[in-house]
Amino acid sequence: MTYRVHVRVMPRSGLLDPQGQAVEHALGALGFDEACNVRVGRAIELAVTADSRDEAVTRARQMCDKLLANPVTEDYLLQVEVD
């Protein structure tokens, strides 16, 4: 079975996110004064072949822990669905 994995990696809350600040500043300059707490992360998509959804989740989690996210500075969210 092939599963589609969506990984959302975000800078850990509490850490300075200068990219988010810059985007927030730019939104304010465009008149979107209501925008606040902007944070910039990254999205990664991949396909995983696995026997079950649980196995796909486990493998995807290992990928995140080893490479896709930095455990010191980032948190991630996984979404796994049948491709």
Partner 1 sequence: MPRVAVVRFPGSNCDFDTLRAAEGTGADAYFVWHREADLRGADVVILPGGFSYGDYLRSGAIARFSPIMQTVQRHAGAGGPVLGICNGFQILCEAQLLPGALMRNAGLTFVSKPVDVTVERTDTAFTCDYDPDSRLRLPVAHGEGRFVAAPDTLRMLEAEGRVVLRYVAATERSPFQPNPNGSANHIAGICNADGNVVGIMPHPERAAERLLGLTGGSGFFTSMVTSHQDSSNSGV
Residues that bind partner 1 (CB under 8 A): 11, 15-16, 18-19, 22, 67-68, 70, 72-73
Nearest distance from C-beta of residue 20 to partner 1, angstroms: 10
Query: What's the distance, CA 12 to chain centroid?
Result: 11
Nearest distance from C-beta of residue 28 to partner 1, angstroms: 16
Nearest distance from C-beta of residue 18 to partner 1, angstroms: 5
How far is residue 69's CA from residue 52's CA, in Å, rounded to a whole number?
Answer: 23
Ramachandran area for residue 14 (φ above 0: left; ψ -120 to 50: alpha; else beta): left
Report DSSP state, residue 12: P
How far is residue 74's CA from residue 42's CA, in Å, rounded to a whole number?
Answer: 10
